[in-house]
Amino acid sequence: SEIAETTGRDVMKISASVLQKLLAALNECTEWGQVFILDSLAKYTPADAREAEGIIERVTPRLQHANSAVVMSAV
């Protein structure tokens, strides 16, 4: 985000519990909310392969979204 770029440090630290909440919120957000969440998740490093697969399963449906910004954020 612009704040993180300006300050030179991460504004939001994503833990495993925050990750699950953000993934759950994806289905309830507007398109632009999904873009911001997906952009935030792009900086998260999964702990193991199983966690990575879970994230992929939740994000993959966004690749078929009508809004190209959502699709690009999912990539």
Q: What is the pLDDT of residue 54?
A: 92
Which CB contacts under 8 angstroms, 24+ apart, belong to 34-39? 34/62, 34/65, 34/70, 34/73, 35/67, 35/69, 35/70, 35/73, 38/62, 38/70, 38/73, 38/74, 39/1, 39/73
Tokens of 21: 């909440």
Predicted model pTM: 0.77
Digit-coded pLDDT (tens) for 55-66: 999 999 999 998
**Mean pLDDT taken over the chain:** 86
Amino acid (one-letter) located at 75: V
Degrees to nearest 5, angle at CA 47 with 25 and 37: 25
